[in-house]
Structure 1
Amino acid sequence: MTTLPVHHVPQFFVRQHLTMMVNRYEVLAANPDGAEGPLLAFAEQKRMAMKEHVTFYTDRDKQRPVFSFKARKVIDPSSGYDVWDAAGQPIGFFRKDFKASLVRSTWHVSGSGLEARGTERNRGVAVLRRVWDFIPVLGETWVPFLFHFDFTDNATGQTVMSSQKHVAVRDRYTITVPDPRLDFRLAVSIAVALDALQSR
């Protein structure tokens, strides 16, 4: 059984596995050489859930829950999501800014001593991706414009977290967290939400 890091992890990976009813997410450590390391957390997200609630476990057997995020309201993603530890204590909060996201996807995150804003890295790519989605023949069957997000501190403008998506059969992300104030569990929740909830 792996031991969950509960504070700062400077880099990790997220891999998505699609099934008919759920999206599965593996959170993997980054080895010193930059390769994928051992499993740190595992989660399943039910598709079309009325009220989003994603629980993370230490392994694929789902015997030991360690943290989770949950929507504040039913069918209202604008209300945001709270992140909780295994004992039900709050860790942080994040939400999508739907008005700003009409042009460039934008998220807000709050943690212990931290307020940050995340946006798609490239404004031009954000616009192209939206145009692509409106082409009926193509839709979302294959989107070449990938999600790269940078979260910056509201007060200082310094980078708090970055998420970079890689071209692959299954979605795969490299998450970099240079700010030690960002709790690993909150960072993982945001990273998974960027994949699972981005279209909502």
Structure 2
Amino acid sequence: MDSGRLQQIRTFHLRQRVTFMVNRYEIRADDGRGGEGELVAFAQQKRVALKEQVTLYADADKTQPVAGFRARKVVDLASGYDVTDAAGAPIGFFRKDFRKSLTRSTWHLEQPGQPAAVGHERSKPIALLRRLWEFIPFIENVPFFFPYHFDFAVDGQVVLSVEKKFALRDRYVITVHDDRLDRRVVFAQAVALDALQGR
């Protein structure tokens, strides 16, 4: 799908597919009826990586890279992640605010020439439940599958929402409320919300 047409789409579906050594992510355009339509991005994340790097492709065969994100440092995850286009040119940046994330996950999303957006979990009770979930002995290895939502806002105005749906496998609906957001940056941040959430 060409970039001009991609920028016109406001709703996407992200689905995680788990394999032995990697997590795979498929992002599809909404089909206009609330279902999954055309594949617009495919990403793959290695589960064990000292320096996180994820490439997004236009196809599941990984023949056409469109963007990617990479950690700035190996150990200091708070330093953030650079988002680049297929040629390696910077198109965005995001980082997790670890202090604020102790009670409710908080991210900062930036794009050149645009005001920075701050994203956090919409529900404080669900955020606290997710943290308590990890300390319950008999379910410690059971994934937290209840829905949770992230809203990214600029000056109180929501520009991007990522909503996890009730499912055993991670599935999200991405809604772009501001047309200025580069969809490639949106996809990178959405994948990171799942892939890096526990770090």
What TM-score does the superposition give when structure 2 sets the normalisation length?
0.94
Aligned residue runs from structure 1 range 1-200, under 5 A: 2-4=1-3, 7=7, 9-112=9-112, 113-153=114-154, 156-200=155-199
Deviates further, 94-103 or 135-144: 135-144
Kindly report structure 1 stretches of 4+ aligned residues shifted beyond 4 Å.
none
SS for the counterpart of 1:131 is helix
In the TM superposition, residue 199 of structure 1 has moved relative to its aligned partner by 0.3
Gaps of 5+ in 1: none
How large is the Cα RMSD of the aligned pairs? 1.4
Percentage identity across aligned positions?
54
Q: One-letter code of the match for 2:189?
A: I
* Cα distance change on mapping 1:36 and 1:84 into 2, 3 Å: same
In the TM superposition, residue 151 of structure 1 has moved relative to its aligned partner by 0.5
Residues 114 and 182 of structure 1 are in contact (CA less than 8 Å); yes or no, is this contact kept in structure 2? no
- Partners of 1:13 and 1:75 lie apart in 2 by 31
Q: One-letter code of the match for 1:36?
A: E
Gaps of 5+ in 2: none
In the TM superposition, residue 143 of structure 1 has moved relative to its aligned partner by 2.0
Residues 114 and 181 of structure 1 are in contact (CA less than 8 Å); yes or no, is this contact kept in structure 2? no
What TM-score does the superposition give when structure 1 sets the normalisation length?
0.93
- Partners of 2:137 and 2:86 lie apart in 1 by 44
Deviates further, 126-135 or 178-187: 126-135
In the TM superposition, residue 3 of structure 1 has moved relative to its aligned partner by 3.5
